[in-house]
Amino acid sequence: MSENPVQLLSTDALLASIVSREKRMRAELFDQMQEIAELERRGAGPELGYKDVAYVLQHVIRCDRNAARQMVANAALLSSTITPTGSELAPELPETASAAAEGALSIAHVAEIAKAMKHLPTEVENLVVEFAREHEPKAIGDFGKGLAYGLYQDDPEPGEPQPERLVNQHHKRWRKDGMLEIRALLDKVTGAAYEAALDPLAKPRPDTGEGPDQRDRSEREGEAFAELVNLMVRADQLPEHGGEPVTLTLTMSYDDLAAKTGDALLDNGERIPADQVRQLACNAGVIPLVLGGQSQPMDIGRKTRTFPAGIRRILVARDRGCAFPGCARPPRHCDAHHIHYWANGGDTSVDNAVLLCRHHHTLIHQSEWEVKLVHGIPTFYPPPWLDPERKPRRNQLHTAA
């Protein structure tokens, strides 16, 4: 049996071939978008007896209605238009069109960029496209929201009615099978606190030799809720999370807090106004945190490999969640990782630590990805097979605003 030529390629060569092939396919798809746009300009749908070009595509390439409509919409975004006087107008998303023509973006990228740009000025399209070049489509929405917040947070909103005040709601009913069914609607602060309390109790059980935890997420969270109810009865026995009792972290500048302006960032990425923060401060312990301040423990050397609560608070304030590029996991889903491994002599300190979710923590340990602190900011360097130049990358989701 002759050996398949693909089997003779090294792993790096295979990955390089896949990347190259995908780029060519994306570039060809861009050309297809131009052809679809031309059909639309010609009014080919009615000409052929169809309602529109999307219906034509359904029959020509045998795709479903939604996919055909998405193709026509993307074609309009990426193609120039001809005015009745014969003038050619640039595409609605020129930066996106240019990157798509190179094969740098998929159709899914284009669709997500289009959604993000509905809430952003055209001047920042290049920032969204540059982000999209290095991240998967689903991350673009979060990046766009961060940009929008940074651009519009100080804009006045004259004439807009005040939103109706949301109140926490709780509904319950006993079912015939003896189970209590519960529904709740919680405001941002209460919701974030609820998640912070539930999360450590809903983790999969460790493998004790009987196999991995087979419960799905809804079952794990249901049992965690039951455990939370029991723990509330014994409030002094609440479990620790991240090295300290369950804690809700809010990040904002001291000047804004004192002036009653601006917003605070919750550790799940939501924002709440300053007056709500001050209300929380009335009945909660407040731990002031200045990055690099002498009042916080920054380094405990090699005394232990476990990061104490003081260092973790600083990491939460600095990294705001998993620091890996494009990851939106909040701090409560993250471990503190020794950049220079503790087993190899690394210290347990802020300058040798970065927050990583469980998935990316494992990835850093088992792959060629590297992380370093550059000017105090976690900076990641991809493997050579992903980027031969190994250009540094940072998580812009946590810093877009």
> Dihedral, CA atoms, 4, 9, 15, 20, nearest 10 degrees?
-80
d(CA 163, CA 174): 34
Considering only CA atoms, which of 67, 139, 77 is closest in space to residue 110? 77
First to last CA, the chain: 59
Residue 264 falls within a domain, yes or no?
no
Poorest-pLDDT segment among 106-120, 166-180, 196-210: 196-210
Q: Identify the domain boundary among 245, 276, 299.
A: 245
Question: By mean pLDDT, which of 61-65, 209-213, 289-293, 308-312 is the weakest?
Answer: 289-293
Q: Do 18 and 128 share a domain, yes or no?
A: yes
Evaluate if residue 245 carries a pLDDT over 60. no
158: pLDDT strictly greater than 50? no
Kindly state whether residues 14 and 128 are assigned to the same domain.
yes
- Indicate the pLDDT class of residue 171, thresholds 50, 70 and 90: confident
Q: Are 347 and 282 in contact (CB under 8 A)?
A: no
Concatenated DSSP letters for 204-216? PPP--SS-S----
218 and 305 share one domain: no
* Residues spanned by the domain of 31: 5-152
Q: Is residue 292 in some structural domain?
A: yes
Are 237 and 291 within one domain? no
261: in domain: no
Q: Say yes or no to pLDDT of 122 above 80.
A: yes
* Statement to judge: residues 130 and 225 lie in one domain: no
In this structure, which amino acid lies at residue 284? A
Torsion from C-alpha of 107, 112, 117, 119, nearest 10 degrees: 160
pLDDT band at residue 400 under the 50/70/90 scheme: very low
pLDDT band at 378 (very low <50, low <70, confident <90, very high): very high
Q: Does 157 reside within a domain?
A: no
d(CA 173, CA 187): 22
Q: What is the token pair recorded at 362?
A: 């494992």
Is there a single domain that holds both residue 173 and residue 142? no
> 145 and 183, same structural domain?
no
Specify whether 124 is located in the same domain as 186: no
Q: What is the DSSP letter of 85?
A: T
Would you say residue 2 has pLDDT above 70? no
64-118 tens-digit pLDDT:
888 899 889 888 888 877 655 556 667 888 999 999 999 999 989 998 999 999 9
Say yes or no to pLDDT of 294 above 90. no
Q: What is the pLDDT of residue 161?
A: 53
Q: What was the pLDDT predicted at 203?
A: 80
Question: What is the crossing angle of helices 107-117 and 138-152, to 10°?
Answer: 20
Residues 121 and 217 both lie in one domain:
no
- Collapsed DSSP state (helix, strand, coil) of residue 255: helix
Q: For residue 219, what are the CA distances in angstroms to 53, 139, 183, 350?
A: 46, 28, 16, 37
The answer to whether residue 396 is domain-embedded is yes
Residue 164 confidence class, pLDDT cut points 50, 70, 90: low
pLDDT at residue 303 tops 80 = no
Whether residue 276 lies inside any domain: the answer is no
Per residue in 184-195, pLDDT (tens digit) is 888 877 887 788
360 — phi, psi (to 5°)?
-75, -25
Of 152, 181, 210, which residue constitutes the final position of a domain? 152
Q: Does the CA dihedral 152-153-154-155 come out positive or negative?
A: positive
Element (H, E) at 134: helix 125-134
* Whether pLDDT at 246 is above 70: no
Question: How would residue 155 be classed by pLDDT, with cut points 50, 70 and 90?
Answer: low
Q: How far apart are CA 192 and CA 367, in angstroms?
A: 33
Residue with structure tokens 């939370």?
A: 228
Domain limit, last residue, from 192, 216, 245: 245
Q: Are residues 238 and 304 in the same domain?
A: no
Q: What percent of the chain has pLDDT over 70?
A: 76
Whether the CB-CB separation of 139 and 326 falls below 8 Å is answered with yes
Q: Kindly tell me the sign of the dihedral angle through the C-alpha atoms of 304, 299, 354, 197.
A: positive
The one-letter code for the residue type at 378 is P
CA distances from residue 256 to 251, 260, 261 in whole angstroms, order as listed: 11, 6, 5
Name the token pair of 336.
């503190």
Lowest mean pLDDT among 138-142, 282-286, 300-304: 282-286
Number of domains in the chain: 3
Q: pLDDT (tens digit, 9 = 90+) per residue, 72-87?
A: 988 888 887 765 555 6
pLDDT-wise least confident of 147-156, 165-174, 293-302, 312-321: 293-302
Who contacts 17 (Cβ-Cβ below 8 Å, separation ≥6)? 9
Do residues 355 and 348 lie in contact, with contact meaning Cβ atoms separated by under 8 Å?
Answer: no
Q: How far is CA 276 from the centre of its chain?
A: 25
Residue range 288-308: mean pLDDT, rounded:
59
Residue 215 has a pLDDT of: 84
Residues 30 and 147 in one domain: yes
Residue 257: per-residue pLDDT: 67
Q: Would 362 be classed as within a structural domain? A: yes
Q: Which H or E run contains 371?
A: strand 370-374
Based on C-alpha coordinates, what's the Rg of the chain? 26
pTM attached to this predicted model = 0.61
